[in-house]
């Protein structure tokens, strides 16, 4: 667990460095999903260089594509891309597009950024896993603003009705979307009863507590939930890890100045 926590700290540092270098980006929602990404790539998939090239493996889609810096940082952390490449984020010709692009960076499972689309793609992958009877899982990381989208609920309905047990949705529930707090834009809570009514197995936990995240991912990636799709509600904090960013809507899309980078790195790396 200590190794994973150290990994999460480095991912946070990479996020700040990238957005500082790019001059723009989405730090808030990147920082909130760090533990989720670390648990999936470092713990569950044990990904490294070469992992992605294998056919038989888990599949992870970052449906909330604006958290791309967190995904790229995780790739660098596990050795899937060079750390030095992180400084090219959002630059002309870079593989690290503002939102993930699988044609430029093949390690990206799916191009995302138009919110609401990733869960359906993960569903298609889960259906393919079931068709081939493969023992892997298809994970989609969703934002709580993103699930405003009707397509998400089309996918939730289908997966629940058809008991697609290879599908795992992970909600980065940081409580804030672009225009403000969830309750000020479109309140969809409580989530669990809605999802359970659609036939999903649901677990809620502290999404910034690495041990709880790992435990939830392990539960979802096992036979324990039965023949149901799995929904993990990770209660997180937007901008987690940096005090001046934490739980503030204006850090959804924001640049990181040199001073903020220095202060942020000190907090994150301790």
Q: What are phi and psi of 128, to 5 degrees?
A: -65, -40
Strand (E) or helix (H) holding 163: none
Among 83, 154, 196, 206, binds another protein (CB under 8 A): 154
Nearest distance, CB of residue 51 and another protein, angstroms:
16
3-state helix, strand, coil in the chain (%, to 5): 45, 10, 40
Nearest approach in angstroms of CB 125 to another protein is 4
Among 22, 47, 125, 210, binds another protein (CB under 8 A): 125
Q: Which of 17, 138, 236, 237 binds another protein (CB under 8 A)?
A: 138
Q: Which stretch binds another protein (CB under 8 A): 122-130, 168-176, 199-207, 208-216?
A: 122-130
SS3 139: strand
**Does 36 engage in binding with another protein (CB under 8 A)?**
no
Which tokens belong to 236?
């997180």
Which residues ranging from 164 to 183 are in contact with another protein (CB under 8 A)? none
Q: Is 32 in the site for another protein (CB under 8 A)?
A: no
Q: Could you give the CA distance from residue 141 to residue 119 in angstroms, rounded to a whole number? A: 8
Q: How far is the CB of 59 from another protein (least distance, A)?
A: 8
Nearest to 149 by CA among 128, 190, 119, 172: 119
With CB under 8 A as the contact rule, the residue among 117, 174, 208, 237 that binds another protein is: 117
Q: How far apart are CA 140 and CA 169, in angstroms?
A: 5
- Distance (Å, whole) CA 100 – CA 98: 7
Q: How far apart are the C-alpha atoms of 105 and 95, rounded to whole Å?
A: 5
Part in contact with another protein (CB under 8 A); list of ranges 74-82, 102-110, 189-197, 248-256: 102-110
Q: Which is nearer to another protein, 38 or 115 (CB)?
A: 115
Is position 94 an interface residue for another protein (rule: CB under 8 A)?
no
Cis amide linkage into residue 190, ω under 30° from 0:
yes
138-143 and 167-173 strand pairing: parallel
**Site size for another protein, by CB under 8 A?**
34
**Cβ distance to another protein smaller for residue 128 or 269:** 128
For 149, residues 6+ apart whose C-beta sits below 8 A from its C-beta are 115, 116, 117
Decide if residue 127 touches another protein (CB under 8 A).
Answer: yes
Task: Indicate whether 136 belongs to the interface with another protein (CB under 8 A).
Answer: no
CB of 236 to another protein, least distance (A): 25
Query: Using CA atoms, how far apart are residues 79 and 261, in angstroms rounded to an integer?
Result: 23
Which residues from 39-58 bind another protein, rule CB under 8 A?
Answer: 55
Residue numbers at the binding site for another protein (CB under 8 A): 55, 59, 101-103, 109-114, 116-129, 131-132, 138, 150-151, 154-155, 157-158
């Amino acid at each position: 667990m200590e190794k994973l926590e150290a990994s999460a700290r480095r991912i946070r540092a990479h996020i700040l460095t990238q957005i500082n270098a790019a001059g723009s980006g989405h730090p808030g929602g990147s920082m909130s999903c760090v533990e989720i990404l670390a648990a999936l790539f470092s713990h569950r998939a044990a990904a490294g260089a070469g992992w992605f090239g294998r056919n038989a493996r888990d599949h992870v889609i970052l449906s909330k594509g604006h958290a791309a810096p967190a995904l790229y940082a995780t790739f660098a952390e596990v050795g899937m891309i060079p750390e030095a490449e992180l400084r090219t984020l959002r630059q002309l010709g870079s593989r690290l597009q503002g939102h993930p692009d699988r044609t430029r960076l093949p390690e990206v499972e799916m191009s995302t950024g138009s919110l609401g689309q990733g869960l359906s793609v993960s569903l298609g992958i889960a259906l393919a896993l079931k068709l081939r009877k493969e023992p892997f899982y298809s994970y989609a990381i969703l934002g709580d603003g993103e699930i405003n989208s009707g397509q998400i609920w089309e996918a939730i309905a289908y997966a629940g009705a058809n008991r697609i047990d290879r599908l795992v949705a992970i909600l980065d529930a940081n409580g804030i979307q672009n225009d403000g707090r969830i309750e000020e834009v479109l309140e969809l809570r409580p989530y669990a009863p809605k999802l359970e009514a659609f036939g999903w197995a649901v677990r809620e936990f502290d999404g910034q507590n690495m041990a709880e995240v790992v435990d939830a991912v392990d539960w979802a990636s096992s036979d324990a939930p039965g023949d149901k799709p799995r929904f993990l509600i990770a209660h997180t904090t937007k901008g987690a890890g940096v005090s001046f960013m934490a739980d503030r809507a204006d850090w959804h899309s924001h640049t990181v100045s040199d001073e903020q980078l220095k202060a942020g790195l000190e907090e994150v790396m301790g």
